[in-house]
């Protein structure tokens, strides 16, 4: 991997091939450290869930760790940890991934484990029941019994969007989770966990020819199935303000979130990058526009942040996507004052533009974060897998920093002009815990 001087591109060899069952395979050899990373990225996320089955993508991620045809429950964890490795999985808006990082001599072990659960996870009534209970407890701990637990990631989309894919609760309602059956889980697996709906990415200390042989050995026998079409998640751009007010009995102070639609991250990536840097310019660091004005100069807020994408990762999502600004403010500060100040700062960028040195500072921070994420074998492999799945090109993950470096002040100004006060989605959170 090289990123020297002005050249911020991660120049890394990438090999790809496809198995007869449709599985796309990406190999990213790096013999500098004796470590390999294996990730399987399935093209199913929160936005794929059918009505009546909210939270199913996340629930199924849990099920995939409950054993498989030749691996008893808990054995996956034991085998990875016994080899000195780590493992996990995560559910995103548009995909679900599973991964291991291990010493390179344990590569075949990881491939066997992932292939076995791709072929036949242990979908049983007992496993489904106990994982429904686990997910419900997660929701209680992370959302229902935590201040701002659903704010704004679960609550703002219902204001900003219209389609079920973009508005529903990706964590899942208790009613939907409780009514899930083994047949539902088996159907979900058959539909979305087909090898042709996945990308297998392997990075690190590997021999390309030997790794291809191992992939063929373990994944080649997985049954091919029909692949569902990629869901159409894009929506027409809004033409009016949308707003809602919610109450949070646990929150110590009120808050407000504003969301604007941004360009298509896949179909219009270059324009989209202007929005990514605009979010950084607005909120990252003490010198950022909103931090200076809201927190330091006018004391309108106690905390603020701006980001693109539901989970703050702008490079792993499809359309439709928001730039979100969230502000936590004292109860004595009217929410209208906060919203007005945010709009004014964005309008200032839209009309006056951005100085080159201010943009360069923001770019340097964003580029450093991207390069740091890609510094580990696992981080780089996860990035390649997501880029291959979402954009159809793994190498793009190594180009993000370099692409951000080419964004001009004019592009950021244009992005600010796109944040129209007349099309914003506004979610006001009222802290009601102290009321009698």
Looking at residue 435, its pLDDT comes to: 52
Q: Where are the domains of the chain?
A: 15-219, 242-431
Looking at residue 4, its pLDDT comes to: 35
**Integer Cα distance of 324 and 321 in angstroms:** 9
The tokens describing 197, both together, are: 């709906």
CATH of domain 15-219: 3.30.830.10
Looking at residue 305, its pLDDT comes to: 97
CATH of domain 242-431: 3.30.830.10
Looking at residue 11, its pLDDT comes to: 74
Looking at residue 178, its pLDDT comes to: 95
Looking at residue 176, its pLDDT comes to: 95
Looking at residue 265, its pLDDT comes to: 97
Q: What is the pLDDT of residues 304-340, one digit of tens each?
A: 999 999 888 899 999 999 999 999 999 999 999 999 9
- Report which of 94, 14, 119 is spatially closest to residue 313, judged by C-alpha positions: 94
Q: Are 9 and 3 in contact (CB under 8 A)?
A: yes
What interhelical angle do 208-219 and 107-119 show, nearest 10?
A: 30
Residue 355: C-alpha distances to residues 284, 390, 409 (Å): 16, 33, 7
**Integer Cα distance of 94 and 30 in angstroms:** 28
Looking at residue 2, its pLDDT comes to: 37
Looking at residue 374, its pLDDT comes to: 87
Residue 228: C-alpha distances to residues 179, 343, 364, 388 (Å): 24, 41, 40, 17
**Integer Cα distance of 255 and 94 in angstroms:** 28
Looking at residue 311, its pLDDT comes to: 86
**Integer Cα distance of 377 and 392 in angstroms:** 21
Handedness of CA 330, 336, 337, 340 (dihedral sign): positive
- In CATH terms, are 15-219 and 242-431 the same topology? yes
**Integer Cα distance of 311 and 309 in angstroms:** 6
- Residues of the chain predicted below pLDDT 50: 1-6, 436
The tokens describing 362, both together, are: 């923001």
């Amino acid at each position: 991997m090289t990123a020297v001087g002005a050249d911020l591109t991660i120049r890394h060899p990438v090999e790809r091939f496809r198995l007869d069952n449709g599985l796309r395979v990406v190999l990213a050899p790096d013999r500098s450290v004796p470590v390999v990373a294996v990730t399987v990225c399935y093209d199913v996320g929160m936005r794929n869930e059918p009505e009546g089955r909210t939270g199913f993508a996340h629930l199924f991620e849990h099920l995939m760790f409950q054993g498989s045809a030749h691996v008893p429950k808990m054995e996956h964890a034991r085998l990875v940890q016994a080899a000195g490795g780590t493992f996990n999985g995560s559910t995103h808006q548009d995909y679900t991934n599973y991964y291991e990082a291990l010493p390179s001599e344990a590569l075949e072990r990881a491939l066997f484990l992932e292939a076995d659960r791709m072929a036949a996870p242990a979908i049983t009534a007992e496993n489904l029941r106990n994982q429904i209970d686990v997910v419900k407890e997660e929701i209680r701990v992370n959302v229902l019994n935590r201040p701002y637990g659903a704010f704004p990631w679960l609550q703002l989309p219902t204001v900003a969007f219209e389609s079920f894919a973009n508005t529903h609760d990706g964590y899942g309602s208790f009613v939907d989770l409780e009514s899930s059956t083994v047949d539902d889980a088996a159907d979900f697996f058959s539909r979305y966990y087909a090898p042709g709906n996945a990308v297998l990415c392997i990075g690190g200390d590997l021999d390309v020819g030997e790794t291809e042989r191992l992939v063929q050995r373990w994944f080649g026998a997985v049954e091919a199935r029909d692949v569902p079409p990629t869901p159409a998640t894009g929506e027409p751009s809004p033409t009016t303000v949308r707003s809602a007010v919610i109450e949070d009995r646990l929150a110590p102070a009120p808050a407000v979130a504003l969301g604007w639609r941004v360009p298509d991250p896949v179909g219009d990536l270059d324009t989209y990058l202007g929005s990514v840097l605009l979010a950084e310019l607005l909120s990252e660091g003490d010198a950022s526009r909103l931090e200076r004005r809201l927190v330091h100069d006018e004391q309108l807020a106690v905390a603020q942040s701006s980001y693109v994408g539901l989970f703050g990762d702008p490079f792993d999502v499809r359309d439709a996507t928001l730039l979100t600004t969230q502000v936590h403010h004292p109860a004595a500060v009217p929410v209208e004052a906060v919203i007005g100040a945010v709009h004014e700062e964005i309008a200032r960028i839209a009309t006056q533009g951005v100085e080159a040195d201010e943009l360069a500072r923001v770019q340097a921070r964003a580029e450093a974060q991207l390069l740091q994420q890609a510094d580990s074998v696992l981080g780089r492999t996860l990035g390649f897998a997501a880029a291959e799945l979402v954009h159809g090109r793994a190498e793009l993950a190594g180009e993000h920093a370099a692409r951000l470096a080419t964004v001009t002040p004019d592009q950021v100004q244009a992005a600010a002009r796109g944040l129209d006060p007349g099309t914003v989605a506004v979610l006001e959170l009222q802290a009601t815990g102290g009321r009698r």
